Amino acid sequence: MSEPLTTGQQKVFEDLLKQIQQAQQKVLQQVNTTLIDLYWSVGKTLTSGERITPSHTPCLIRSEDEINAETGHRIFIHFQGVKTGA
C-alpha cells in the first residue's frame, strides 16, 4: 500500500490534473469548432451546386459510405429527401 501524499505532492497532483482537464476542454472545443465548420461547408456545397432530388439520394448515400470507409470513422451526414439549390 502506498503512503499518503504530502501537502506538496498533493498540490503538484492537483495542478497536473487541472492542466490535463484544461487541455481536454481545449481539444473538445476545437473538435466542435471543426465539425461546425465542416457542416457549414457541406451545406454551402450542397446549396450552391445542382438541385439535389430524392432520386440522387442513393448516389449520396454511397458517397457517405465511401467517405466512412476511407476515413475509418462513421460520419453522420444524411441527405435523404434533401432538395437544395434554386
- pLDDT tens, position by position, 45-66: 877 766 655 555 555 555 666 7
pLDDT at 84: 45
Same domain as 75, residue 44: no
Range of the domain at 56: 52-86
> For the chain, what is the domain count?
2
| Residue ranges in 1-86 assigned as alpha helix (H) | 7-48, 57-71
All three cell numbers of 57: 439520394
Residue-wise pLDDT tens digits, 3-36: 898 999 999 999 999 999 999 999 999 999 999 9
| For residue 82, pLDDT beyond 70 | no
Question: Same structural domain for residues 43 and 56?
Answer: no
CA dist., res. 67 & res. 61, Å (int): 10
- In this structure, the answer to whether residues 12 and 39 fall within a common structural domain is yes
For residue 39, name the pLDDT band (cuts at 50, 70, 90): confident
pTM of the model: 0.52
Q: Is residue 44 domain-shared with residue 85, that is, in the same domain?
A: no
DSSP structure class, residue 72: T
* One domain, residues 69 and 85: yes
Residues 42 and 67 in one domain: no
